[in-house]
Structure 1
Amino acid sequence: MPSNTAIADATPPRKIVLVIFDQAKLLDITGPMQVFNDARFENGHSAYQIVLASEKGGAIATDAGVTLQSLELSQVMSGDVDTMLIAGGQPAESPAATEGLRGVLAKYVDQPRRLGSICVGAFILAQLGVLNGREVTTHWGKSKLLENEYPGVRVKSDAIFVTSDRVWTSAGVSAGIDMALAMVEDDLGSAAALSLARDLVLFLKRPGGQSQFSVELRRQTHDAKGRFDELHDWIRSNLSKDLSVSALASAARMSPRNFARVYSRETGESPAKAVEQIRVEAARRLLETATDSIQQIANRIGFGDDERMRRAFLKAYGVSPLDYRNRFGRSRDDASPALRKTLLEA
């Protein structure tokens, strides 16, 4: 029976075609490129061959002023293509701006084993009718526009990336890196993807269902005026204590009734909701760094029991605390080789 190394020796790299156009967003292109470039078979050989392609080929000026060289799309698609990804960038939103590119793409979108878009590149796929009847995502700021202009598309406005059979779509900019890592995991396995994420010094490898925002960023956006910044710092320092409206009002030096009214008006959420979000963010950090049990973490940050924390964490991040720890916690590196293997295969 041939070994895994022998199989890898006999396996040619998968061809990845990244479709670009003038004023495409640079990171939408280079983020996934770096992931695929660094992916390796067990024997160290490159797992992917990356090709930049455009409607007519030649120099393509990105939105950041960096010019990239590309091949003509029809020339590139003449051979076997495993995956074709459409980059994002403001021109992608306009049917008029992408008419010529779509005319060429229409001949080839059914050819690759896997088809995808990065950020607002989803608009080009929608213009081609590829996304009709599918669940997709795009940059959060363009989700409503995509939904309104293409009612046959089911938009998940808060997902990092979404898969629908052979079609993959990702959210804004850096989410293209997450989707590329997920594709590597799909092709080469979780151990290879996690090793690659570490090599690229990525903070974490986010699952597709995770929110585009951390709960802390969402809360800070709500409280843009910063009126309750000191209170939020106090909450973070007292997570295991009584954080009822009365306790918060006292810390804010306000009456409970006035505090509840003003807080909701200024931040757009109730005090109880804010406390839950801050506790969830604290739980996330501890799951990444601490070796305490999940029950101990739940007690430490004031959830009281792990089931209550599990429900809140699942609502915020789309994954359970246990699954999050298995993916991102320090226990993965501290574990015995046998346990580490189990976590990598989880």
Structure 2
Amino acid sequence: MRQIGLILENGFQVMGLSALSAFELANTELGQDAYRMTILSQNGGTVRSTIGVGIETTTLGDMPDTLMVAGIRIPGPLNPELRSYISRAGSEARRVAGVCTGAFVLAEAGLLDGKTATTHWLHARRLQERFPEVRVDEDRIFVQDGNIWTSAGMSAAMDLALALIENDHGAALARNVARRLVVYFRRPGGQSQFSALLELEPRTDRVTRALTYAKEHLRNPLTVEELADAARLSPRQFSRIFREETGQSPAKAVEMLRLEAARAMLEDGRHPMDTVARDAGFADRDRMRRAFVRAYGLPPSSLRRNAAFADAESME
């Protein structure tokens, strides 16, 4: 049985606890207690979240197989005892994981020196400024560098937990756990923290409906007429309202959605370039290449190589 220890501090964010649900459901899928979860804190007793919910914790003791550190809204200096415990985990635990701003805790304990790590994009620059010896990748869902894992914020705790389960028991179990959780099967670690839909920030249901339709039908031509029909507006009305709400033309927004889908497929590394171009709606590789160079300054092949290199480097 593998023990998962999750360290909480006052001011932790409740969503960080979601990772434990994944391990609980892994036990259900396996039909045995493959994981035992313990919630830890420096002094034990009740630890309160940002919304005032209290969680009973156990004092620090024997080192677990996997030590996880939940994020808090405003990371502060570590108590020396807690810093020492987490520092020892780097060599005594099989894995150490920082969820969201938990990366600050790992960095202060010296576990991220010379390593690549991520955190919530809102805090990434501050992490880099406070700990310049850390290679901060602010646009990753999660990062593994040796036995140290870090993740972005909020829902990325679930992606991290699924990745840890896959690391232990394989993709099939992680996929079944994801189904039970009713979440998308683990987003690739290299996937961007940003979403084109969130970046466009539509204000009305009509424009949101058109963008959702576009995301679900990327293989279609997605002309203004097709999108206007999804929004239940005339093409002229749709073009005007769309630009007012998003600041982009419909064609530019569709290209952003196609690029996001293609990039995720490329970073996943399992799809031929022609398949990526077709499924993302670019029609052919050359058109996809031109779009990538415009958006990222690099062709798709370079982004795929960079993702493969980062994954290989994290396994060393």
Q: TM-score, normalised by structure 2?
A: 0.72
Distance change in 2, residues 1:130/1:296 (3 Å): closer
Aligned counterparts of 1:134 and 1:297: Cα–Cα separation in 2: 31
Size of the alignment, in residue pairs?
Answer: 275
Give unmatched runs, 5+ long, in structure 2.
225-234, 264-272, 305-316
- Which residue, out of 54, 68, 80, partners 1:67? 54
- Which residue, out of 75, 84, 108, partners 2:67? 84
Aligned counterparts of 1:180 and 1:69: Cα–Cα separation in 2: 21
Distance change in 2, residues 1:27/1:305 (3 Å): same
Residue 268 of structure 2 corresponds to none
Give the letter for the 2:134 counterpart: V
> Are 1:41 and 1:47, in contact at CA under 8 Å, matched by a contact in 2?
no
Distance change in 2, residues 1:212/1:98 (3 Å): farther
> Are 1:241 and 1:302, in contact at CA under 8 Å, matched by a contact in 2?
no
Residue 156 of structure 1 corresponds to 137
Q: Report the aligned-residue RMSD.
A: 4.2
- The structure, 1 or 2, with the larger RCO (C-alpha pairs under 8 Å, 6+ apart) is 2
Taking the TM superposition and a 5 Å limit, the aligned residue runs for 1:105-254 are 105-220=86-201, 229=207, 236=214, 240=221
> Are 2:23 and 2:165, in contact at CA under 8 Å, matched by a contact in 1?
yes
> Are 2:197 and 2:211, in contact at CA under 8 Å, matched by a contact in 1?
no
Q: CA deviation at 1:15?
A: 0.9
Give the letter for the 2:70 counterpart: A
Of stretches 81-90 and 273-282 in structure 1, the one that deviates more from structure 2 is: 273-282
Aligned counterparts of 2:106 and 2:291: Cα–Cα separation in 1: 35
Give the letter for the 2:45 counterpart: G
Aligned counterparts of 1:181 and 1:119: Cα–Cα separation in 2: 15
Aligned counterparts of 2:7 and 2:169: Cα–Cα separation in 1: 23
> Are 1:18 and 1:52, in contact at CA under 8 Å, matched by a contact in 2?
yes
> Are 2:10 and 2:49, in contact at CA under 8 Å, matched by a contact in 1?
yes
- Give the match's secondary structure for 2:6: strand
Taking the TM superposition and a 5 Å limit, the aligned residue runs for 1:255-334 are 267=247, 273-280=252-259, 303-305=282-284, 308-309=287-288
> Are 1:140 and 1:158, in contact at CA under 8 Å, matched by a contact in 2?
yes
Aligned counterparts of 1:242 and 1:162: Cα–Cα separation in 2: 38
Residue 337 of structure 1 corresponds to none
Q: CA deviation at 1:212?
A: 1.3
Distance change in 2, residues 1:115/1:104 (3 Å): closer
Aligned counterparts of 2:173 and 2:290: Cα–Cα separation in 1: 31
Q: CA deviation at 1:307?
A: 6.3
Of stretches 32-41 and 18-27 in structure 1, the one that deviates more from structure 2 is: 32-41
> Are 2:67 and 2:89, in contact at CA under 8 Å, matched by a contact in 1?
no
Q: CA deviation at 1:60?
A: 1.1
- Which residue, out of 68, 76, 88, partners 1:94? 76
Distance change in 2, residues 1:14/1:283 (3 Å): same
Residue 46 of structure 1 corresponds to 33
State percent identity of aligned pairs. Answer: 37
Q: CA deviation at 1:274?
A: 2.8
Residue 32 of structure 1 corresponds to 19
Aligned counterparts of 2:86 and 2:209: Cα–Cα separation in 1: 54
Q: TM-score, normalised by structure 1?
A: 0.66
> Are 2:174 and 2:185, in contact at CA under 8 Å, matched by a contact in 1?
no
Distance change in 2, residues 1:273/1:21 (3 Å): same
> Are 1:98 and 1:124, in contact at CA under 8 Å, matched by a contact in 2?
no
Aligned counterparts of 2:151 and 2:189: Cα–Cα separation in 1: 8
Aligned counterparts of 1:156 and 1:143: Cα–Cα separation in 2: 8
Q: CA deviation at 1:278?
A: 3.4
> Are 1:55 and 1:104, in contact at CA under 8 Å, matched by a contact in 2?
no
Residue 10 of structure 2 corresponds to residue 22 of structure 1? yes
Give unmatched runs, 5+ long, in structure 1.
1-12, 244-250, 254-258, 285-293, 324-346
- Give the match's secondary structure for 2:127: helix
Give the letter for the 2:194 counterpart: F
Aligned counterparts of 1:150 and 1:111: Cα–Cα separation in 2: 23
Q: CA deviation at 1:310?
A: 8.2
Distance change in 2, residues 1:296/1:167 (3 Å): closer
